[in-house]
Amino acid sequence: MAEKIIKTEYSEVMQKSYIDYAMSVIVARALPDVRDGLKPVQRRTLYDMHELGIKYDKPYRKSARIVGDTMGKYHPHGDSSIYDALVVMTQDFKKGLPLVDGHGNFGNIEGDSAAAMRYTEARLQKITQEAFLADLDKDVVDFIPNFDETEKEPSVLPVKIPNLLVNGAEGIAVGMVTSIPPHNLAEVIDATKAYMNNPDITTRELMKYVKGPDFPTGGIVINQDDLLEIYETGVGKIKLRGKADVEKGKGGHINLVISEIPYTMIGANISKFLQDVAALYETKKTTDIVDITNQSSKEGIRIVIELKKDTDVENFKNMLYKKTRLEDTFGVNMLAIADGKPETLGLKQVIKHCVDFSYEVNKRKYTNLLAKENERREVQEGLIKACNVIDLIIEILRGSKDRAMAKKCLVEGITDGIKFKSKESKIMAQQLMFSERQANAILEMRLYKLIGLEIQALIAEHDQTMANIYRYEDILDSRSSMTQVIIKELEDFKKEYGRARRTLIENAAEAVYEEKKPEEMDVYVMVDRFGYVRSVDKATFERNKDTIEAENKYVFVCKNTGRMCIFTDKGQLYTIKVSDIPFGKLRDKGVPIDNISPYSSQNERILCATSQTELNLYRLVFVTKTAMIKIVDGGEFDVAKRSVAATKLADGDEVVCVEVLKEQRNMILISNDGYFLRFPLEEIPEKKKAAIGVRGMKLSAKAVIDQVHFSKNAVESSIEYNDKKIELNKIKLGKRDTKGTKIRV
């Protein structure tokens, strides 16, 4: 058969392929299903554990076995994604209702990762079996082929509680993100019951039951008034604070004890919080901190900040709220898969989908149970009828040549070939008319069933079967009856697994922190040749002036409330608050400038460092390697931004010199091919910082400016050039934009 080539626009193929890929990620990997609140990897892991029989009352099994079995049968996306999902489902500090019981090191709230899967063990939690997996054998959900069509897996688990709300969810898809906070199980069940009793209930009325998120880490939600809009739209921001209490410390000190943290702080952000608190002290934002210790354990969070006796604790707490993650924001985006497509859902919509799913599951469940009870009733009625004519049954069995002949008589009344004791027996046999199922049960019935007590038990069992049939028919025929069944299940779960709320919901005033203004004074800022910066007071500088000037590349006086400025060879200006510069002893190391400004020592070189105050008093001269020069008024660099362009550069050009002009009179430009040009600074025009400037020296092909020096009138100055001493004032005075003099050495 000849091949048929189909020509297609490349962009259309790419667009279709990307959309297919995006939807695959969205539906099959990243987003939870609103019905069971689970992502595919979670659902498959729980189902695999169920299939392996790893129940809550059975021994733990190695996590590696669970992961390998899940990957081989249902989830071919790598073992790490499966194990990560298993780990999260065990962590009670991430999930309001852990679904897996872990044994071993499954990580902790401070961000330590779980041990390797070969070391840890797991089994299902009791509630997972009862509320997530209990009715899988009753045909309550559809089963679909797995990835290679060798196994069947449930398309959704028959979850009996609104798990999406109880455990929340986080996930990043293609162009989409879901972030649903966890909630209190008891409150969610109460809200579900209220919706079932009144489907027209409003979101505001539902919030009488669901007060707000209930994070496993506790904490305080401080924007209660915003929750209504969040739950109506499914989108918004929840403001969280940690819980901080005051205790008496040693020596009259005050201990601020943080016992609950914002949900967003779990993991590495706890150590980041400790670093941020320490940084507040190091940068002199506060002097109230005496010590900080992390006393957290398996029993819970306990971070102790020891404060001085006279500390304004409320003001200090407000500072922590403002400057650390003790107050943080949880972004809510209640995005889930509903009816096969991603949809942002409000509180009522989530509950509606879960309730509709519960009705669907229960309808299938009780339809299945009713069918089985009807089958059981049919068999029971056949056996009771057979017991009433047991002598005739025995006569048929003894007179038949084989099972088929006896069964034909019981079902169709055909007596051909059967030997009867009397004509009356034959006539009665022709009138039996048992069903196929009844006949099989009679033929398989054991003789002990003919004992009187066994017959009474059979009649009692039949009565119970009829009661079940009436009950199941009532549930299926009456929505109110099914509602009561679902509500009864929910109440049982609430009674056994409900717990008190952990997160406090309130409207709190915004934290107002009054920063203590430092007493203004002069400090000396020092920048060494390695790019480390520090500052000392005036007295320390005057005692060690010679040492400081010898050991540092830049030294200048500055107000501790002011800013320092650095100019780089890339034409950038970086401003740094002096208050951010470590202040202390002479031998303190300081910090790299990279750490306190956007400057990068890997890509840039500092050419000038000075105070912003000094810039306002003087002018600056800029020289580039292509000999472009200009003078700029220092006031143009009085900016609040941390980083701005200090000058305009041509492509491939860079700055080789930035100098603050004070008493200098002449400039000496030296090219890398040995030409010296000395001319008065008056010849350099004053330009704006956005200008490129004018040419200062005519350069030979491929030559660049190598060095720039300055001299004062009547002041002798010299430099070393190629091991020869050059007197700068003896160089012939020339004009700007000339070639200069060749110095031979």
Catalytic residues: 119
Residue listed under structure tokens 């190391």? 589
What does the DSSP 8-state code read for residue 499? -
Name the token pair of 257.
Answer: 């004890």
Helices (H), 607-655: 612-617
CA 741 to chain centre: 66
The answer to whether 281 and 258 are in contact (CB under 8 A) is no
Q: How many residues does the chain have?
A: 745
Contact at 8 Å (CB) between 171 and 141?
A: no
Closest CA to 336 of 345, 327, 328, 323: 345
d(CA 289, CA 306): 6
Q: Phi/psi of residue 363, each to 5°?
A: -65, -45
DSSP 8-class letter at 187: H
- Euclidean distance between CA atoms 98 and 508, whole angstroms: 31
Q: How far is CA 352 from CA 195, 229, 356, 454, 597, in A?
A: 8, 18, 6, 49, 52
> Distance between alpha carbon 729 and the CA centroid of its chain, in Å?
67
Distance of CA 219 to the CA centre of its chain: 18
Residue keyed to tokens 């600074």? 681
Residue with tokens 């009488």: 208
CA distance 432 to 393: 10
Count of CB atoms situated within 10 Å of the CB of 339: 8
Cβ–Cβ under 8 Å, residues 66 and 55: no
Give DSSP secondary structure letters for 636-654: GG--SSSEEE-S---TT--
CA distance 144 to 27: 15
Question: Going by C-beta distance under 8 Å and a sequence separation of 6 or more, which residues neighbour residue 291?
Answer: 305, 306
Amino acid symbol at 192: T
Distance CA 580, CA 582 (A): 6
Q: What are phi and psi of 157, to 5 degrees?
A: -85, 145
CB atoms within 10 A of CB 92: 13
- What's the CA angle centered on 559, arms 553 and 562, to 5 degrees? 95
First to last CA, the chain: 86
The answer to whether the CB of 669 falls within 8 A of the CB of 708 is: yes
Phi, psi of 587 (to 5 degrees): -90, 5
Neighbouring-strand partners of residue 632 = 620
Q: Who's near 394: CB < 8 A, 6+ residues apart?
A: none
d(CA 329, CA 263): 9
